[in-house]
């Protein structure tokens, strides 16, 4: 028969290993979270040139919605006229957070949508990053739905959660546009 010490030793060793691993993972996440967020913002500023190539001046800011702060960049032409905004937004997808940048023209019409980060199911959810899906948002204004109607987009078959998440992130950008322009 084993003694109490022989039974508890392996349990304590395993517990210690798990605790140390959990602490190290938490610290790594804490250190890298700001770096990842900064990278998304820097990428968004670089993409701004692609969205508004005629812009000579960009101004960055933050806008709040439902208790969360979102980064945006306003683009201006040489005369100081507003060309539009790009908003960095995100939503929870099937495989994790989906981060995107949504360019909205000065009149509130979506100019372009680009994925910054996505980790969805290969072959299904990852099709959401394809231009054929994202181009559905271009030219739309106001709240977008998953439907074939006037202000709707068609969901990706087999990836409804991902389609819904991207639509939610685009709608957040449109709400932020409304807040900034009210």
Q: Is 43 a domain residue?
A: yes
Residue 2 lies in a domain: no
Lowest mean pLDDT among 37-41, 43-47, 65-69, 135-139: 43-47
Per-residue DSSP letters for 17-36? HHHHHHHHHHHHHHHHHHHH
Residue 18 has pLDDT above 80, yes or no: yes
Q: At 170, is the pLDDT very low, low, confident or very high (cuts 50, 70, 90)?
A: very high
Cα gap 129→118, rounded to integer Å: 8
For the segment 40-67, the average pLDDT, to the nearest whole number, is 82
* Residue 181 scores a pLDDT above 80: yes
The Cα–Cα gap between 175 and 164 comes to: 16
166 belongs to a structural domain: yes
Q: Is residue 6 part of a domain?
A: no
The verdict on residue 99 lying in a domain is yes
pTM for this structure?
0.71
Extract the tokens encoding 46.
Answer: 């670089």
Structural domains in the chain (count): 1
* Average pLDDT rounded to a whole number, residues 121-143: 80
Instruction: Please give the Cα distance from 128 to 118 (Å, whole number).
Output: 9
Q: What is the residue range of 129's domain? A: 38-180
8 lies in some domain? no
């Amino acid at each position: 028969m084993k003694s109490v010490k022989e039974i508890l030793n392996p349990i304590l060793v395993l517990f210690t290993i798990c605790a140390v691993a959990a602490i190290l993972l938490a610290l790594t996440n804490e250190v890298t979270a700001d770096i990842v967020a900064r990278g998304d913002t820097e990428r968004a500023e670089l993409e701004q040139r692609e969205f508004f190539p005629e812009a000579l001046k960009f101004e960055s800011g933050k806008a709040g919605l439902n208790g969360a702060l979102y980064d945006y960049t306003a683009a201006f032409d040489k005369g100081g006229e507003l060309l539009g905004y790009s908003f960095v937004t995100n939503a929870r997808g099937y495989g994790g957070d989906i981060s995107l940048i949504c360019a909205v023209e000065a009149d509130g019409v979506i100019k372009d949508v680009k994925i910054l980060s996505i980790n969805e199911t290969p072959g299904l959810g990852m099709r959401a990053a394809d231009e054929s899906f994202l181009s559905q948002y271009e030219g739309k204004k106001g709240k977008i739905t998953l439907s074939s109607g006037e202000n709707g987009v068609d969901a990706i078959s087999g990836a409804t959660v991902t389609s819904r998440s991207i639509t939610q992130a685009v709608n957040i950008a449109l709400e932020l546009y409304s807040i900034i322009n009210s």
